[in-house]
């Protein structure tokens, strides 16, 4: 895939930024342990970290060919900030905006997956290694629940969501593990978070899926913001119907 790709994910407070040349990550940042207070802190580092990645590689913002943003689900505030930065850069540069599930980025951004050999020598010829695997990728959904989707890794490490997004309880995660389905996510046996670097394994498929409408696209928050839930409970009606 020619040109530079800027990837951003804000589905968790440990958000991330990555700059790709073709399908190779040439710079990345992770928004964690910055020493900045959480109130008005980590999330506001997204744009400075974008600038750092560009400067580190000698790339100007006008050279960005496409922007890919993690689509959630996850933290409402962090997702909105990441999406706003991604959309703003795409509009400013005049390049297309793409999105990808953050639950998929948990798997593809996991360093251990990237370490799996992609090919093997068979009878003197290089052939893709078939690594059939299925993960239950999860992210915190508050209230003791988790956003979850099954992610399949097939031949040549092709990766795709193989089940619809759902919200499950802690018991469902342990049941999945007992059934032999590895659970990957924050604080799980496979402790990982979505990372923008994971776009590298998916870029061709993401672009083939088509660009988003920059004016209307929004992340998939998974559930309403806590403030909206409380407002609707107090007023007995949907906030969207308030006129």
Residue-wise pLDDT tens digits, 215-224: 999 999 876 5
Q: Binning pLDDT at 50, 70 and 90, where does residue 33 land?
A: very low
16 contacts 8 by C-beta, under 8 angstroms: yes
Q: Decide if pLDDT at 206 tops 80.
A: yes
pLDDT digits (tens, 9 = 90+) for 99-133: 999 999 999 998 877 555 555 566 677 655 555 57
Can you give the residue range of the structural domain that contains 15? 4-241
Q: Domain tally for the chain?
A: 1
Which pLDDT does position 219 carry in this prediction? 94
Hunting for tokens 């059939």 — which residue is that? 132
The pLDDT confidence band at residue 147, using thresholds 50, 70 and 90, is very high
* 242 pLDDT higher than 70: no
Residue 16: count of CB within 10 angstroms of its CB: 27
Confidence of residue 92 (pLDDT cuts 50, 70, 90): very high
**What mean pLDDT do residues 58-68 have?**
97
CATH number at residue 25: 3.30.420.40
Question: How confident is the model at residue 99, as a pLDDT?
Answer: 97
pTM of the complete model beyond 0.75: yes
**Given pLDDT bands bounded at 50, 70 and 90, which one contains residue 230?**
low
């Amino acid at each position: 895939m020619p040109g530079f790709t800027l990837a951003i994910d804000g589905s968790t407070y440990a958000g991330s930024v990555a700059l790709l040349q073709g399908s190779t990550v040439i710079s990345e940042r992770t928004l964690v342990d910055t020493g900045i207070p959480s109130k008005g802190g980590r999330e506001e580092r997204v744009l400075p970290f974008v600038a750092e990645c560009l400067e580190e590689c000698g790339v100007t913002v006008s050279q960005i060919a496409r922007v890919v943003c993690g689509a959630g689900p996850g933290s409402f505030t962090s997702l909105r900030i990441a999406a706003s930065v991604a959309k703003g850069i795409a509009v400013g540069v005049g390049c297309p905006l793409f999105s990808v599930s953050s639950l998929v980025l948990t798997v593809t951004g996991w360093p251990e997956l990237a370490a799996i050999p992609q090919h093997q020598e068979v009878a003197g010829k290089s052939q893709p290694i078939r690594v059939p695997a299925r993960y239950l990728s999860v992210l915190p959904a508050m209230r003791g629940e988790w956003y979850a989707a099954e992610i399949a890794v097939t031949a040549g490490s092709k990766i795709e969501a193989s089940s619809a997004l759902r919200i499950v309880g802690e018991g469902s995660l342990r049941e999945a593990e007992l059934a032999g389905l590895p659970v990957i996510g924050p604080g799980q046996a496979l402790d990982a978070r979505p990372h923008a670097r994971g776009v590298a394994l998916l870029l061709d498929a993401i672009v083939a899926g088509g660009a988003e409408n920059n004016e209307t696209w929004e992340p998939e928050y998974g559930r309403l913001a806590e403030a909206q839930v409380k407002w609707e409970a107090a007023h007995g009606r949907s906030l969207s119907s308030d006129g």
